[in-house]
Structure 1
Amino acid sequence: MAPTTKTAKSLTLADLDQDLDLGFQLPDPNDEEISEIDFRQQIERAWQVCDRFDLQTDIWRGQILRAVRDWHCQTPKDREKQRGDGRGAGFLNWLQDREISKTSAYSLIELANSADTLLETGYLDAQDVNRFSKRAFVETAQSAPEVQQMVGDAAKRGDRITRREVRQLSDDWSAMSSDLLPEELRAKVTDQTIPTRYVAPLVRHLEKLPEAHQASIREAMADHPDLDTLKQATGEARSLCRYLESAAHVQALDDLDMEQALEEALRLGCLNTTAEIVNQAAQLEGAIAKLYTTWKRLNSLSERLYVDTGASTPNLRTLLKSLERLSGEEIEFFFGDPRGDKFSRTIRLKLEADLALDTGTWEAS
């Protein structure tokens, strides 16, 4: 397969050279004649230049990384065999030689892909990229096509695009176009009775909910399309999302009818508390799983170190002895005020290995 690196639409030095200006000067903070307004304006201009170069540099780095990745991952088989590397191993070695993490590399590649996408769709011209801060550019690339179009139009007009402008346009679009909102509420948004910044969070939460729950919230908003009801509906939608997302990951709730429990919580007006309980239960089960795997890893490393050391390493043996209260079957941990004057607690966990399954009991004192 041929490399997928895009050159025709990618940002190049030739595209942007005409607007680059490294000759900015910072105001002298000790100049008594400069006013605070002038000082702030000069600092803002210098900061925008840094933002611009930060964005352009990262896009170019992403293009470089993408080319290197494609070279190593998509070269002909005979070249791969000649190198002797596994598929993609050469790219990881290249990153390691330059002390670049895999996460950072793919983040930059994603930024380069976003730049190509925005340029290919025609929403942006190459010179328009200079109008963006880095975070605003990433935010635009992740937005809906309609929002990208509006942001692109603003950039072509010469407007400076920050993350705040992108989010405002995104909120406006969500509030005006979402089918999840009742007409009564959209009318309030249209006449600017209700700001879009209050409506956008509700839309984001509604998108994650089943139709039945969407309908009940829409009905409430249709009956009372005011700001107080909107805030209450947003809070309810947020709690519903937390409840549904967390409940799917709690093993202790496998035998429970979650919808029935949810209806009771809604009827009693305690949805937020119920959602928090389920969320905490999911976190606790995750913590237990992490505790078990970490405990097993600590045991394995302790055994290995014990075998590799002897009487000639008394300090290492003391280290292993001290860690027995964490690596043994009985784990003991103290937290809180070391002097015991304020809140303090000793947690004791007993992990009992079974042939079929490791089980654990705990007590706190």
Structure 2
Amino acid sequence: MAEISETTAEITAALETPTDLEFTLPDPEDEEIEENEFQQRLDEAWLVCERFDLQTDIWRGRILRAVRDREKQGGEGRGKGFLNWLKEREISKSQAYSMIQLANSADTLLAEGQLQVSSINNFSKRAFVETANSDPEVQKLVSEAAEGGDRITRREVKELSDQWTAMSSELVPPNVKEQAENGSLSPRYLAPLVKEMEKLPSSHLKQIQEEVEENPDVDTVKQLTSEAKNLSKYLDAAAQVQAIYNADLDLEMALEEALRLDCLNTAADLVKQATSLEQIMAKLYTTWKRVGSLADRLYVETGASNPHLRSMLSALEKLSNDTIEVPLDDSSDRVVRLKIIHNE
């Protein structure tokens, strides 16, 4: 981790973190205060709390990192000192590492010049964390907005992330990018489409690109996003179904027919459920084998002098025999029977 040049005092001064939080909150019962004013005053107080919370957790993360690294340097105790330090302050291990990660992210953004210390005040805590976890290009866009004085919440981070996703993707036709750039088509609609298109093989992209190029409007983009999502689900699930893999059929032709009949969503759901069923059957078989093995072992280790254990084994025969019986309701009126035929 790169060291930052600012001293603790300099950074604290730049952040302008208050040592004590004290607000004069509006009286909820004061009818003379207009609703807009009431909400605005609460929002202002809330934003101060968020800034305080963010800065506090960054510094706590730096402190926790120092405690952890000091112990690593000594090489003794195998983390006991660090854990004891957390225990004394009632901090969970997951909370500690979350704050350390936040501190690492802050230091990285500062060290790489992506963000100025004074701009941290413009972030909400969640927005800062989301920015730190974003692509470098998105970090740059967000940091520029923060340095320009913009208030950065998760909404702004998402908008800028969507903008970068839509404008940088080679999958989006040029005229559609122009629509997004001039504001006639919001990038927040394009970004989900791009993410779904990235999951598809190139052979399935041309038709989507032609349709969005011909009709670069919100309704078309939403429809194509849904279709691309269903198509991705279909292809992923179909590739995992052994029943389909071992059969003599043309998946592409089946796909074309589903598209022509406008039932791709149903077909995608079918193969997805088929995948789940095969996985459940495989797990059922291994569990059934385990139940039978344990029942046989317990039978050998017990005798007639243990009638209750023998009774339990007799009751469980419905689950360990080749034909498994399971009631579907408490009354046992409805029973499902599965016969297992296996090749050793």
The two structures share one fold, judged by TM-score above 0.5: yes
1:361 maps to none
1:24 maps to 22
2:83 maps to 94
Query: What is the distance in 1 between the residues matched to 2:149 and 2:228?
Result: 39
Matched, 1:265 2:258: yes
1:8 maps to 4
The one-letter code sitting in structure 2 at the alignment partner of 1:53 is F
Q: Could you say what secondary structure the match of 1:332 adopts? A: strand
The one-letter code sitting in structure 2 at the alignment partner of 1:42 is R
Pick from 109, 123, 135 the counterpart of residue 144 of structure 1.
135
Query: What is the distance in 2 between the residues matched to 1:277 and 1:248?
Result: 13
Q: What are the superposed Cα offsets for residues 71-112 of structure 1, whole Å, 9 maximum, x if unpaired?
A: 56x647xx45xx4x5xxxx37982897376665554444333
Q: Could you say what secondary structure the match of 2:216 adopts? A: coil
Partners of 1:185 and 1:221 within 8 A in 2: yes
Q: How does 1:80-91 map to 2 (within 5 A)?
A: 83=77, 85=78, 90=79
Query: Judging changes above 3 Å, is the alpha-carbon distance between structure 1 residues 237 and 20 closer, same or farther for their aligned structure 2 residues?
Result: same
2:41 maps to 42
Query: Judging changes above 3 Å, is the alpha-carbon distance between structure 1 residues 198 and 326 closer, same or farther for their aligned structure 2 residues?
Result: farther
Query: Judging changes above 3 Å, is the alpha-carbon distance between structure 1 residues 119 and 225 closer, same or farther for their aligned structure 2 residues?
Result: same
Q: What are the superposed Cα offsets for residues 230-264 of structure 1, whole Å, 9 maximum, x if unpaired?
A: 22221121112222333344444433554454344
Partners of 1:11 and 1:126 within 8 A in 2: no
The one-letter code sitting in structure 1 at the alignment partner of 2:265 is N
Give the deviation of 1:217 after TM superposition.
1.3
Highest CA radius of gyration, 1 or 2?
2
Query: Judging changes above 3 Å, is the alpha-carbon distance between structure 1 residues 130 and 281 closer, same or farther for their aligned structure 2 residues?
Result: farther
The one-letter code sitting in structure 2 at the alignment partner of 1:332 is V
Pick from 300, 317, 326 the counterpart of residue 332 of structure 1.
326
Query: What is the distance in 1 between the residues matched to 2:235 and 2:6?
Result: 42
The one-letter code sitting in structure 1 at the alignment partner of 2:326 is E
1:243 maps to 234
TM-score by length of 1: 0.71
Matched, 1:275 2:268: yes
Q: How does 1:173-184 map to 2 (within 5 A)?
A: 173-184=164-175
Partners of 1:295 and 1:326 within 8 A in 2: no
Q: Percent identity?
A: 49
TM-score by length of 2: 0.75
State how many pairs are aligned. Answer: 331
The one-letter code sitting in structure 2 at the alignment partner of 1:40 is Q
Matched, 1:169 2:160: yes
Query: What is the distance in 2 between the residues matched to 1:325 and 1:24?
Result: 69
Partners of 1:150 and 1:169 within 8 A in 2: yes
Q: Could you say what secondary structure the match of 2:31 adopts? A: coil
2:178 maps to 187
Q: How does 1:269-348 map to 2 (within 5 A)?
A: 269-288=262-281, 330=324, 332-334=326-328, 347=336
Q: How does 1:212-227 map to 2 (within 5 A)?
A: 212-227=203-218
